[in-house]
Amino acid sequence: MLQSGGLVSDKIIIELIEDWLRLHGGHGFVFDGFPRTLPQAESLMSILARLRSALDLVIWLEVSEQTVRDRIAGRLQCGECGFTTSSSSAQFANRPICPYCDGPLERRNDDDLSVLQTRLQEFRTKTEPLASFFEKMSVLHRIDGNRDREAVFSDISRLIEDKR
Ligand SMILES: [Zn+2]
């Protein structure tokens, strides 16, 4: 399922999140890449309601299809430990060696591009509707994710600081 670019089932993800929130409490958490579907978002809201906790902030990173393609094309992955970086942020263009284990950094474009269409289709049908779901709750903030990582990080930091 994951290998073909599809998403893990809602049921499994929701159970994992609910277990985690029960264990750690519903205050002071950040989820990265969750929720990705409407059923996941609805379940999260009811779990938080049971824990008497509120959702302060949803950050929507807007990235164009071209940016996604460019980033995949520039992605390098360590053949030994799986560490992933980009050829633009890596300083070792002449000698692509993993900074953690000295393994070879390789491009994996073919694999990645073959699952991209599936991912984009899943995003459009399942994830995109979340924007209006969270917009109605007035917690959604859009950030332009096509810029370099420092600009994006600084915007995200400011949003979080404003919520403290
Ligand atoms: Zn490595």
Q: How far is the CA of 49 from the centre of ligand 1 (A)?
A: 42
Q: How far is the CA of 104 from the centre of ligand 1 (A)?
A: 7
Q: What is the pTM of this model?
A: 0.77
Q: How far is the CA of 124 from the centre of ligand 1 (A)?
A: 33
Spatial contact of 108 and 116, defined as CB atoms under 8 Å apart: no
Q: Cα angle at 50 between 49 and 51, to 5 degrees? A: 90
Q: How far is the CA of 1 from the centre of ligand 1 (A)?
A: 25
Residue 36: C-alpha distances to residues 14, 88, 131 (Å):
11, 28, 10
The mean pLDDT value for 70-80 works out to 87
Q: Show the domains of the chain with their CATH numbers.
A: 2-163 (3.40.50.300)
The mean pLDDT value for 117-122 works out to 88
Q: How far is the CA of 61 from the centre of ligand 1 (A)?
A: 28
> For residue range 24-68, what is the model confidence (pLDDT) as tens digits?
887 889 999 899 999 999 999 999 999 999 899 999 999 999 998
Question: Who contacts 64 (Cβ-Cβ below 8 Å, separation ≥6)?
Answer: 146
Token reading at 22? 């029960």
Q: How far is the CA of 98 from the centre of ligand 1 (A)?
A: 5
In angstroms, rounded to a whole number, what is the distance separating the alpha carbons of residues 32 and 34? 6
Strand partners, 58: 140
In the block, which residue shows the tokens 């906790």? 53
Q: What is the pLDDT of residue 3?
A: 47
In angstroms, rounded to a whole number, what is the distance separating the alpha carbons of residues 33 and 37? 10
In angstroms, rounded to a whole number, what is the distance separating the alpha carbons of residues 23 and 39? 22
